[in-house]
Amino acid sequence: MRILILCHAFNSLAQRLYVELAERGHTLSLEFDINDSVTREAVGLFGPDLVLAPFLKRAIPEDVWRRVPCLVVHPGPLGDRGPSALDWVVLEGAKRWGVTLLHANAEMDAGDVWRSVPFETRDAAKASLYRHEVTEAAVEAVLDALERLKAGGKPTPFDPADPAAFGRPRPPMTQADRAIDWSADETATVLRKIRSGDGVPGVRDRIGGLDVNLFDAHPEATLRGAPGALIARCEGAVCRATVDGAVWIGHLKARDAETSLKLPATQVLGEAAAALPEAPGYRDLWYEEEDGVGWLHFPFYNGAMSARQCERLLAAYHAACRRDVRVIVLAGGEDFWSNGIHLNVIEAAHSPADESWRTINAIDDLARAILTTGDKLTVAALSGNAGAGGVFLALAADRVWARSGVVLNPHYKGMGNLYGSEYWTYVLPRRAGEEHARAVTEARLPMGTAQAHRLGLVDEAFGRRVADFRAGVRDRARALAADPALALLLEEKRQRRAADEAAKPLDSYRAEELERMRLNFYGFDPSYHVARYNFVLKVPKSRTPLYLARHRRVAKVT
């Protein structure tokens, strides 16, 4: 089937559907929803059998949905309508929710129904629910609808009496709906309010004398203070007291300028944060140990890694290597394993070029430490998605295991033709081969675990849910640690590393990569800096890149 994906942005859900549909042999092209004329042109050029809209902010033009079947993913249960579906479910603490696949018509969220998939919610941020429960339900709904469509099936009109119709029309959520009253709101309420706006648009507030938007909230177990007061700081986060406890706020976005960025809270607050006492509590990096296995968790916000975070993770890794364990699991976080260098922190630096250089060297140091560990078996366990340098950092490990629904983006070029480092010119060809390595980095397309396994980037993929995946990792890692043949595996590992080092030292790979990166950072071509600026400030796309819009590649050639 020829399927045109129409979306506001190529977000995590759109990427997951792209890889699932490509894996099943469908012919795909993608167009950003820039305006109606562009959409019409894309349909005319590609001639799709179907338009799939996984993430839209506007209605599809009538002349398009009357001409071609248009299926729209709505992140709400049967009967739900409105643009703030997930915001409301998080704010109200609903225990069940769903995804509905609609046949587009003249009303937003009101077409005939192809499928509605319910799910149980978690106590989590809106963005996390979207990346997991919503994504899995949307994939199920879309794949089922395509099978029915191929067999001649039709959608059904919405029936308000359907027992599955537990949704209802809702207005767009406003900042007033989630405004925090620090003198009255309990911790659970504060968490729901902030999580309902995480990661867009955040919750408006005033903190440390600044007007900001709040993101990345977590409960604090023991600290207390006057409601609303800042009482502590910890690794970029600040702790703020509630009427019955306190919450950690990891990230803020100042509202005093159009170019403000979402950044670690202490960086935004400056002196107001520096005056606070340090206290443990904000957990973005920790270590666990069980049955000869050391686990390093690093759920860095949005998977982005600043130079400071890379340095902390490297120190924690070295500490884990000194422990009496036989296997080290690099677990990342539930939502992301790693997305490489922290572009927001880089953009906010006095010299983005210098901060880029510092960060890439810090992540290279971490990759080298993993590559040169000779007395432990290392496992990269990807519960969540990984992109750019995060993918290649994972490939530094001896084993790469991924949750079945994970999406990888093993390329850098989309960020202004960034060359990339993390020893990718060593770790990628040794797993995928030279020819496939070139194809992967040039394609600039997302990759599912099935393709990644075929190419050798992933050794095993299992578990649809994070809990199932983590349980599988625990069992496999425990078995590796208890394997009588582990000593032989480690000796073979050391011999391979010695042979590779003799053929070409790691220092040579790094020097060659950084020579190209220096040009990206300091050279005459500003493409990386322009692309980074547009990315972090979410500048709307003026056109769809040709590597996504295959219909425009054909038109350009002819």
Answer whether residue 196 shows pLDDT above 70: yes
For the segment 334-378, what is each residue's pLDDT rounded down to a tens digit? Answer: 999 999 999 999 999 999 999 999 999 999 999 999 999 999 999
Cβ(103)–Cβ(112) below 8 Å: yes
Provide DSSP, 5-48: EEESS--HHHHHHHHHHHHTT-EEEEEE---HHHHHHHHHHH--
Neighbours of 268 (CB within 10 A): 23
Cβ(112)–Cβ(157) below 8 Å: yes
Q: What is the pLDDT of residue 217?
A: 98
Cβ(180)–Cβ(203) below 8 Å: yes
Residues above pLDDT 90, as percent of the chain: 93
Taking the CA atoms of 24, 452, 336 and 29 in sequence, report the sign of the dihedral they define: negative
Cβ(31)–Cβ(70) below 8 Å: no
Task: State mean pLDDT over 165-170.
Answer: 92
Please state, in angstroms and rounded to a whole number, the distance separating the CA atoms of residues 327 and 332. 16
Cβ(250)–Cβ(266) below 8 Å: no
Choose the weakest-confidence range: 81-90, 257-266, 280-289. 257-266
Higher pLDDT, 113 or 256: 113
Cβ(212)–Cβ(272) below 8 Å: no
For the segment 384-425, what is each residue's pLDDT rounded down to a tens digit? Answer: 999 999 999 999 999 999 999 999 999 999 999 999 999 999
Measured CA distances, 22 to 10, 136, 197, 449 (Å):
15, 16, 32, 12
Strand pairing class (327-332; 293-297): parallel
Give 504's contacts (C-beta < 8 A, 6+ positions apart).
426
Retrieve residue 401's tokens.
Answer: 């295991």
Partners of 15 in the β-ladder: none
Task: State mean pLDDT over 475-481.
Answer: 98
Q: Is 145 helix (H, G, I), strand (E, B) or coil?
A: helix
**Is this model's pTM higher than 0.85 or not?**
yes
246 residue type, one letter: A
Cβ(124)–Cβ(195) below 8 Å: yes
- Nearest partner of 390 among 417, 363, 372, judged by Cα: 363
Is the backbone of residue 93 left (phi > 0), alpha (psi -120 to 50) or beta? left
Retrieve residue 515's tokens.
Answer: 């020579």
Measured CA distances, 153 to 25, 118, 147, 156 (Å):
20, 21, 8, 10
Provide DSSP, 103-150: E--SSTT-SEEEEEEEEE--SS-HHHHIIIIIHHHHHHHHHHHHHHHH
Answer whether residue 557 shows pLDDT above 50: no
Give 211's contacts (C-beta < 8 A, 6+ positions apart).
204, 205, 254, 255, 256
Confidence grade of residue 51 (pLDDT, cut at 50, 70, 90): very high
Confidence grade of residue 114 (pLDDT, cut at 50, 70, 90): very high
Q: What is the pLDDT of residue 558?
A: 42
Answer whether residue 258 shows pLDDT above 70: no
Please state, in angstroms and rounded to a whole number, the distance separating the CA atoms of residues 153 and 520. 52
Please state, in angstroms and rounded to a whole number, the distance separating the CA atoms of residues 79 and 113. 10
Give 326's contacts (C-beta < 8 A, 6+ positions apart).
292, 293, 376, 377, 480, 481, 486
What are the respective helix, strand and coil percentages of the chain, to the nearest 5? 40, 20, 35
Taking the CA atoms of 400, 517, 346 and 407 in sequence, report the sign of the dihedral they define: negative
265 residue type, one letter: A
Taking the CA atoms of 12, 434, 507 and 502 in sequence, report the sign of the dihedral they define: positive
Please state, in angstroms and rounded to a whole number, the distance separating the CA atoms of residues 488 and 498. 15
Higher pLDDT, 259 or 461: 461
Cβ(398)–Cβ(378) below 8 Å: yes
Is the backbone of residue 286 left (phi > 0), alpha (psi -120 to 50) or beta? beta
Partners of 99 in the β-ladder: 117
Task: State mean pLDDT over 311-325.
Answer: 98
Cβ(329)–Cβ(292) below 8 Å: no
Q: What is the pLDDT of residue 521?
A: 98
Q: What is the DSSP letter of 540?
A: P
Strand pairing class (460-462; 112-120): unpaired
Answer whether residue 556 shows pLDDT above 70: no
Partners of 381 in the β-ladder: 401
Please state, in angstroms and rounded to a whole number, the distance separating the CA atoms of residues 42 and 22. 19
Phi and psi (nearest 5°) for 254?
-65, 145
Task: State mean pLDDT over 518-533.
Answer: 97
For the segment 217-229, what is each residue's pLDDT rounded down to a tens digit? Answer: 999 999 999 999 9
Q: What is the pLDDT of residue 555?
A: 55
Confidence grade of residue 442 (pLDDT, cut at 50, 70, 90): confident
Strand pairing class (203-207; 112-120): unpaired
| Residue 482 half-sphere exposure toward CB, CA atoms < 13 A | 8
- Nearest partner of 516 among 427, 388, 420, judged by Cα: 420
